[in-house]
Amino acid sequence: MSSEFGLKRVLGLGDLVAIEIGTTVGAGIFSLTALAVAFTGPSAPLAFLAAAIPIVFIMMTVGMLGSTMPTVGGTYRYPSRLFSPMWATVGVWCYALGLVFGALPLYATECAHYLQAVWPGIPVKAAAIGLLTVFFLVNVFGISIAASFQALMVVALIIALLVFGIGGLPSVDPNNFIPPFPEGAGGFILAACILTFALQGSNSVIELGAEIKRPRRNIPVSLLISIPVVTVIYILVAVSAVGNMDLDVWKGLGDNANLTQPARNFLSSPLFVFFLVGGALFAFTTTINGTFMWSTKSLMVVAKDRIMPPALARTGRFGTPVRFLALLWILSVVAVLAGAGIKIFASYATIGGMIIFIPSMIAAMLLPRRVPELYNSAGFRLRGAMLYIAPCIGIITSALLIVILLADLELWSLPFLGWLVLGVAFYSIRKRSVEKQTGEKFSQMLDRDLEAMIGECRDAAQEREE
């Protein structure tokens, strides 16, 4: 069954859970654990838990949006139709920067660092570019193929992480957790801010709405499964990591610190190799693969609205947006070659990921008023005070994290702020151009599309979902 842009509904509940877990786990555990330990020391496991609390409220809101109006590129489409097209565009604009100069180079570079534990002579930048290229090509050949790769890798990934997390518990040294907050409240808050990015991957579900079977049911159910699973795994691995290596050793390793060092302390050689391949390698590759799978979807809708060139959204022979995929691949390769550093990559990725949430949270609060019929028939919906509490927590948390991380970036915050201002200007120019070409208000075009979405969802609700 085909949907908008020629995309096909091929993703089942298992595929969604695999995509969400695979997209989330890679950056959180393997890229950011050492950074969290550097910020807050032994309280890193608690920082993972603190980071999960606001994400739960955000994902509750995301689940409601996806269950009410499953569509392609929901992160842009919901706020642009229900709230503000300008802020929806700016959100995607900033997320795109966080993606190509943050998330993708972060995943690929850190994966290459882990591979050095097996092949010490491997060149980091060449390996990172190779990884990006492989999964760019996998996604060019279709999302069903990419999803199959994802499901297989996620099974091995979870087993490897449990080997590390459970295998390290018997040798945990309680003294490594004392003092729990050596860097004070400031260090703990900064660690929790960075670690929110570790749980953002589940947001991908509302980007893939046009490719999901039974989306009104499967979207909220997949979130209900993936978020607790990921959170438990994160805390378990963090406890074993901190408990098996002294804080002074962590700090002494600096930017070279990662989970391979504590893993050597308690895993046998065969299990250590399995942890590196099935854990580290698959964590990063599932994240890279999943990111390529869903990150183009909002961009495709922006292009459909003509804010970006519509030609970029055209799908190729295998029903994939080849031009957008190629653009993400090229810019990510440039970022790898530039090599700004893990902290900069992680901060940009986190800020971009949080900015895109804010317009969606506002759209969620407007949902019952703008589309009451769909809201009342949604498979999952927030009711009463929770309709406002959950999005408001998401908005306040996102805004605070953005401010904290921009302040920590110091001069590196200026390029991001400049990009944000450029996004506002770009939208204004393109909007006027579209209105001149079409002879109608841009808002009228979006209202017409919203009516079409409502009609499609109404029709789908009357039929049995495949």
pLDDT in tens, the chain (466 residues): 445 555 566 678 887 887 777 667 765 677 788 888 888 989 999 999 998 888 888 888 988 988 888 887 888 999 999 999 999 999 999 999 998 998 899 888 888 887 887 788 889 899 999 999 988 988 887 656 656 666 677 778 888 888 999 999 999 999 999 888 988 888 998 888 888 877 776 676 777 666 778 777 888 888 888 888 888 888 899 999 999 998 888 878 776 778 888 998 899 989 998 888 888 787 787 778 778 877 888 888 899 899 999 888 887 777 778 899 999 999 999 999 987 777 788 889 889 888 988 999 999 999 999 999 888 888 788 989 999 999 999 899 889 889 988 998 888 899 999 999 999 999 999 999 999 998 999 999 999 988 988 887 776 655 544 4
Domain count, the chain: 1
Phi then psi for 314, rounded to 5 degrees? -65, 135
Chain-centroid distance of CA 363 in Å reads 19
In a domain, residue 266? The reply is yes
Show Cβ contacts of residue 369 under 8 Å, excluding neighbours closer than 6 positions: none
Task: Pull the structure tokens for residue 433.
Answer: 């151009």
In a domain, residue 445? The reply is yes
pLDDT at 28: 63
Phi then psi for 321, rounded to 5 degrees? -80, 80
Convert the chain into a string of H (helix), E (strand) and C (coil): CECHHHCECCECHHHHHHHHHHHHHHHHHHHCHHHHHHHHHHHHHHHHHHHHHHHHHHHHHHHHHHHHCCCECHHHHHHHHHCCHHHHHHHHHHHHHHHHHHHHHHHHHHHHHHHCCCCCCCCHHHHHHHHHHHHHHHHHCCHHHHHHHHHHHHHHHHHHHHHHHHHCHHHCCHHHHCCCCCCHHHHHHHHHHHHHHHHHHHHHHHCEHHHECCHHHHHHHHHHHHHHHHHHHHHHHHHHHHHCCCHHHHHHHHHHCCCHHHHHHHCCHHHHHHHHHHHHHHHHHHHHHHHHHHCCHHHHHHHHCCCCCHHHHCCCCCCCCHHHHHHHHHHHHHHHHHCCCHHHHHHHHHHHHHHCHHHHHHHHHHHHHHCHHHHHCCCCCCCCCHHHHHHHHHHHHHHHHHHHHHHHHHHHHHHHHHHHHHHHHHHHHHHHHHHHHHCCCHHHHHHHHHHHHHHHHHHHHHCCCC
| Cβ pair 197, 346 in contact under 8 A | yes
In a domain, residue 461? The reply is no
In a domain, residue 388? The reply is yes
pLDDT at 148: 64
In a domain, residue 466? The reply is no
Give the domain range for residue 39.
10-450
In a domain, residue 465? The reply is no
In a domain, residue 459? The reply is no
pLDDT at 7: 58
CA atoms within 13 A on the CB side of 449: 19
In a domain, residue 457? The reply is no
pLDDT at 3: 52
| CA proximity to 150, closest of 284, 333, 259, 318 | 284
Q: What is the CATH number of the domain that holds 186?
A: 1.20.1740.10
Chain-centroid distance of CA 295 in Å reads 9
Is pTM beyond 0.85? Reply is no
